[in-house]
A and B are shown apart, each in its own frame.
Chain A
Amino acid sequence: MSRTPLDTVEHAAGTPDVELPWAELGLKKDEYERVVEILGRRPTGAELAMYSVMWSEHCSYKSSKVHLRQFGEKAPESDAMLVGIGENAGVVDVGQGYAVTFKVESHNHPSYVEPYQGAATGVGGIVRDIIAMGARPVAVVDPLRFGAADHPDTKRVLPGVVAGIGGYGNCLGLPNIGGEVVFDACYQGNPLVNAGAIGVMRHEDIHLAKASGAGNKVILYGARTGGDGIGGASILASETFDDAKPSKRPAVQVGDPFQEKLLIECTLEAFREKLVVGIQDLGAAGLSCATSELASNGSGGMRVTLDDVPLRDSTLSPEEILMSESQERMCAVVEPGKVDRFLEICEKWDVIATVIGEVTDGDRLEIYWHGGKIVDVDPRTVAHDGPVYERPYARPDWQDALQADDANKLPRPQTSEELRDQVLKLVGSPNQASKQWITQQYDHFVQGNTVLAQPEDSGMIRIDEETGLGVAIATDGNGRYAKLDPYTGAQLALAEAYRNVATTGAKPLAVSDCLNFGSPEDPAVMWQFAEAVRGLADGCLQLGTPVTGGNVSLYNQTGEAAIHPTPVVAVLGVIDDVARRTPVAFQEEGQLLYLLGDTREEFGGSAWSQVVHDHLGGLPPAVDLERERLLGEILISASRDGMIDSAHDLSDGGLVQAVVESALLGGKGARLVVPDGLDAFTFLFSESAGRAVVAVPRSEELRFTDMCGVRGLPATRIGVVDGDTVELQGEFTLTLAELRETHEATIPALLA
């Protein structure tokens, strides 16, 4: 045993020349010097641990902050917003006294290192963010991106990620209602595992992460603190993978969903009895984050005795305890008179709960260990005053050449036979194929309120059994579009998620995002990021849907190769009565198919260009957000007035993909006719935005087309729901059986 003296504040002041491992903990030299300047002395080991994790890219947003400000500056006026950016998750008013909180986060790096635990703890983390707002979690969604579908490593990563999401979410009793699965070689080595969650509460139940009221107790409850995940998110997610460095495995956290389920129930019971003044979950940066954020958001200071933290491993040093990212822990601030009742509820649920400190009337965060003061800081300097970088950015020199490589000039099918073959190739390609093998590993029935789940355009959950009030959520992103033009690509992601929500009949209200990019130290990546944020902020302003919060994941690159810029956008909508939701599946033969919106020759970044030509070039489809809004209004009105029985948005894969999906889900075919002014190829494969296909009962045709006419939305009759084939008149016929086999066999063949 070494006999190093405890590095207390006093000791640090007296030993200015002691060398600390700031570089190993990820701090840059000027950042370390800034810490010394703030404290007026060298930091103690414990203080250094706290600053290093809290000032990491993952926790401090130091590279992205200057751009993210736009989400606030350009926020549209919205009555719906109850809690905005900066809290654990944003909160939106959905009417009837209900509020909904939702957020999307990334767990990309851990999921590559250890797919099962990485993905599982991603679900756990986002769900704790939701509980910390005072809400009962009601659903999760998982937008996922992997390397090439046939790459051997994808077979390692994907099944583990899917099993991890299922293993954790299923055990929590949260229906998984949406998300995406996308394959692209650019995500090889950097899979994107984003996780979203929605929670519901009454307005009066909203809770915030702040420690107020001197004398109030700070209670740590949930799992014991262990050595797992020390510096996990903060170190893993803040550096580029590099083969030369040792394995990061010990930095990945290990989850226990059973413990989290108890944490949910016990937290909600404490909320119901109004026992909680402020609350914070322990995620990235663990206790360092929870104590500094609670203290800096409240009115006073905080004193914590680290010896009281229940440990799984008694050999942990105070620095390790502060940095540990052990899962399933929460921190609550409770008035002294209510502490006993709070502890009783924890005991009822067999959850360990310990008073570890109290709120003081000072303005310092003080942490003690073995009687010595090892941390004495202004909590704001840890939690909020981290470094801010104006990283240089520049439009990459290859961007012009990429955009000039026009996908519209690629060879197109010349015969009906070729057209038919390409349709089959498209609907059977990994990105367009059925993801049922994946989604059936997730429970989508639990809680008994699931109205729609994948593969519907958006997931929908009933939140009031009496009135039928419900919420819908869709997540979308298209890295190929964003690579061609990040500004437009981000807006296309927003437009698609917005459209997906409206297609099911819900009114889009608010946005959360997960911005996945390469290294911010590369000016080209930084330009992509800046453009995407600008595009998204402008788009949200125009559509009137504020960004309520989100997450940035940088350093998604291996060596020089960054992923496609991939902003993933989640749109939350509300529907006054879920009984009028519009499903994707064709419902009844004889109904008329209408194509809404304008179809142009737009193939840049398209699924067709990828599947048939393995090509990425040109410009992405043009965005017209006013058109998106109009289309949304028509889809919502049509749902409200019973004018349509099914609807499907058009996005990657174009019209043919949408029609095939609606046909297979409904078990009913379609006869299609190429409308005047379009050729068959463009009709089938174009990815023009702002479009949807709807099935209109014959009795409603006039009313529906009148409505579109009056509002100025192009509505073109393109066919009828009929039979057991998908037929394009004069071109080809495909039986549903053949389409089903092609569409459903791909993923199991690659991964099962």
Chain B
Amino acid sequence: MTARIGVVTFPGSLDDRDSRRAIRLAGAEPVALWHKDKDLHQVDAVVLCGGFSYGDYLRAGAIARFSPVMDTVIEQAKAGLPVLGICNGFQILTEAHLLPGGMLGNDHLHFICRDQKLRVENADTAWTGDYTAGQEISIPLKNMDGRYVADRRTLDELEAEGRVAFRYVTDGEAADGYGNPNGSLNDIAGITNAAGNVVGLMPHPEHAVEPLIGTGRTDGLPFFTSILKKLVNA
């Protein structure tokens, strides 16, 4: 048996097809979900993909959070449905208060697209079981508003509870993808909720799943195999 993983398409979503491909390559069944449809069609997990939902008008993720599909996603995520937010999806999750903090414009004020070194800090979430804590991975980063911020108390809480899931690795040459790419506080690239079912990150694991494509690395595939294993073994 396999698992059904939904990918929501909002107007302006860009990486929906890529996310469905990654899910398929991991061995799960991708299911296309539509923003105007409240029904999640019995999926076992949901991916909120990258892009510019609703043109990023107002603020990245701010409008998508109020779409019909999100009502159900928010409700079910609170009940334990695994949800992964990638880039714009991460922004939507913070706007929906499923994850704390928020994203501001990159400190250098430019869009940045590059292969990025990350350290897996928490390998116990629903989406990171196939990594080991401390493992360094390289996956593409591409965004305009990727600077993670939160108030001091939230940051302390995230750190204390081990909820920083991914951190930008800073001790290496920038040419090799090291370094904090946008001024994110505590070098945070991704976080999880306390239950470990909701994870958000700015870099794009779905772009690193095939040896020939993009950077040629497959460091992002374990996101999708992790959730598949978790769902199948559940």
Q: Which residues of A are at the interface with B, using a C-beta cutoff of 8 A?
A: 163, 166-167, 170-173, 256-259, 261-262, 349-350, 440-451, 462, 465, 578-579, 581, 740, 744, 752
Contact digits for B194-222, partner A, Cβ 8 Å, 1 yes 0 no: 00000000001011011011110000000
Residue of A nearest to B16 (CB): A173
- Taking the complex as formed, is B146 at the interface, i.e. its CB lies under 8 A from any CB of chain A? no
B97 within 8 Å of A (CB atoms):
no
Known: A446-B18, A462-B213; 14 extra A-B contacts, CB below 8 A, are A166-B111, A170-B144, A258-B52, A258-B54, A258-B55, A261-B11, A262-B11, A440-B112, A443-B111, A444-B214, A445-B140, A445-B214, A448-B17, A448-B206
Specify the chain A residue showing the minimal Cβ separation from B54. Answer: A258
- Chain B residue numbers with a CB within 8 Å of A257 are 52, 55
Q: B54 — which chain A residues lie within 8 A by C-beta?
A: 258
**Residue pair A349, B11 in contact (C-beta under 8 Å):** yes
Q: Is the CB of B112 within 8 A of A445?
A: no
B113 touches A443 (CB 8 A): yes
- Measured in the bound complex, the distance between the Cα atoms of B112 and A173 in whole Å is 14
A34 to chain B, nearest CB (A): 45
Q: Out of A163, A171, A262, A447, which one reaches B110, CB within 8 Å? A: A163
Alpha-carbon distance A449/B50, docked complex (angstroms): 16
Contacts of A449 on B, CB cut-off 8 Å? 213
- CB-based contact B11/A350 at 8 Å: yes
- A740 x B175 contact (CB < 8 A): yes
CB-based nearest B residue for A580? B212
| Contact across chains for B14 and A462 when beta carbons are under 8 A apart | no
Q: A349-B11, A440-B112, A448-B207 are in contact. Are A171 and B52 (CB under 8 A)?
A: yes
Q: In the complex, which residue of chain B has the Cβ closest to the Cβ of A174?
A: B14
Establish whether residues B18 and A744, one from each chain, have CB atoms under 8 Å apart when the complex forms: no
* Cross-chain contact B111 with A163 (CB below 8 angstroms): yes
Indicate whether B142 reaches chain A with its CB closer than 8 angstroms.
yes
21 residue pairs bridging A and B, Cβ less than 8 Å apart: A167-B111, A171-B56, A172-B14, A173-B15, A258-B11, A258-B52, A258-B54, A258-B57, A440-B113, A441-B110, A441-B111, A441-B112, A442-B113, A445-B113, A445-B204, A445-B207, A445-B215, A446-B14, A448-B17, A448-B207, A752-B108
Distance, CA A172 to CA B142, complexed state (A): 14
Contact, CB under 8 Å: B207 / A578 = no
Whole-angstrom distance from the CB of A570 to the nearest CB of chain B?
22
Give how many B residues have a beta carbon under 8 Å from the other chain's beta carbons.
34
Please give me the 3 A-B residue pairs with the lowest Cβ-Cβ distance, nearest first: A258-B55, A173-B14, A448-B18
B50-69 with Cβ < 8 A to chain A: 50-52, 54-57
Q: Which of B14, B17, B113, B204 has the most CB of A within 10 A?
A: B113
Determine whether B230 belongs to the interface, using a CB cutoff of 8 Å to chain A. no
Nearest CB in chain A to that of B208: its residue: A445
Contact indicator A451/B213 (Cβ below 8 Å)? yes
In the complex, chain B residues whose CB is within 8 Å of the CB of A444: 113, 214
Chain B positions near chain A (C-beta within 8 angstroms): 11-12, 14-15, 17-18, 21-22, 50-52, 54-57, 108, 110-114, 140, 142, 144, 175, 204, 206-207, 209-210, 212-215
- Residues of chain B within 8 A (CB-CB) of A462 are 212-213
Note all chain B residues with C-beta closer than 8 A to A171.
Answer: 12, 14, 52, 55-56
Closest residue on chain B to residue A176 by CB atoms: B113
Residues of A within 8 A of B210 (CB): 448
Q: How far is the CB of B192 from chain A (nearest CB, A)?
A: 24
Bound-state CA distance A349–B34 (Å) is 11
A448 and B55 in contact (CB under 8 A), knowing A163-B111, A173-B14, A441-B111?
no
Question: Does the CB pair A170–B111 fall under 8 Å?
Answer: yes
Query: Given the complex, which residues of A lie within 8 Å of B12, measured CB to CB?
Result: 171, 258, 261-262
Which residue of chain A lies nearest to B207 when distances are taken between CB atoms in the complex? A445
* Complex contacts, B56 vs chain A, CB 8 Å: 171, 258
Nearest A residue to B204, CB-CB: A445
Q: Are A256 and B55 in contact (CB under 8 A)?
A: yes
Contact in complex: B113, A173 (CB < 8 Å)? no
The chain B residue with its CB closest to the CB of A265 is: B11
| Inter-subunit contact B111/A446 (CB<8 Å) | no
> B213 touches which one: A173, A258, A261, A450 (CB < 8 A)?
A450
Partner of A445, one of B21, B142, B212: B142
Query: Complex Cα distance A275/B229, Å?
Result: 43
CA distance A269 to B175 in the complex (A): 41
Q: Which residues of A contact B206 (CB under 8 A)?
A: 448
Taking the closest CB of chain B, its distance from the CB of A660, in whole angstroms, is 14
Give the residue name and chain of the B residue nearest to A737 (CB).
Answer: B173
Shortest CB-to-CB span from A426 to chain B, Å, is: 20
What CA separation (Å) do A257 and B140 show in the bound complex? Answer: 23
- Expressed in whole angstroms, the Cα–Cα distance for A173 and B87 within the complex equals 14
Bound together, the chains give a CA A444 to CA B50 distance in angstroms of 14
Q: How far does the Cβ of B156 sit from chain A's closest Cβ, in whole Å?
A: 33
Q: Give A134 to B76 CA distance when docked, in angstroms.
A: 40
- CB <8 Å contact, B214 and A450: yes
Residues from chain B with Cβ under 8 Å of A445 in the complex: 113, 140, 142, 204, 207, 214-215
A446 touches B142 (CB 8 A): yes
On whether A440 and B57 interact (CB within 8 A), knowing A171-B52, A349-B11, the answer reads: no
Given A171-B12, A258-B55, are A447 and B112 neighbors across the interface (CB < 8 Å)? no
Question: In the docked arrangement, what's the CA distance between A204 and B55, Å?
Answer: 32
Nearest CB to that of A438 among chain B residues? B110
Query: A163-B110, A171-B12, A258-B52 known; A443 and B142 CB under 8 Å?
Result: yes
A446 to B213, CA, bound (A): 11
A171 CA to B12 CA, complexed, in Å: 8
A124 to chain B, nearest CB (A): 14
A581 and B213 alpha carbons, distance in the complex (Å):
11
CB-defined contacts of B110 to chain A, threshold 8 Å: 163, 441
Residues of A within 8 A of B14 (CB): 171-173, 261, 446
CB-defined contacts of A172 to chain B, threshold 8 Å: 14
Q: Nearest Cβ distance between residue A537 and chain B, in whole angstroms?
A: 37
Interchain CA distance A440-B213 in the complex, whole Å: 17
Complex: chain B residue closest to A348, CB-CB: B36
Q: How long is the Cα–Cα vector from A578 to B144 in the complex, in angstroms?
A: 30
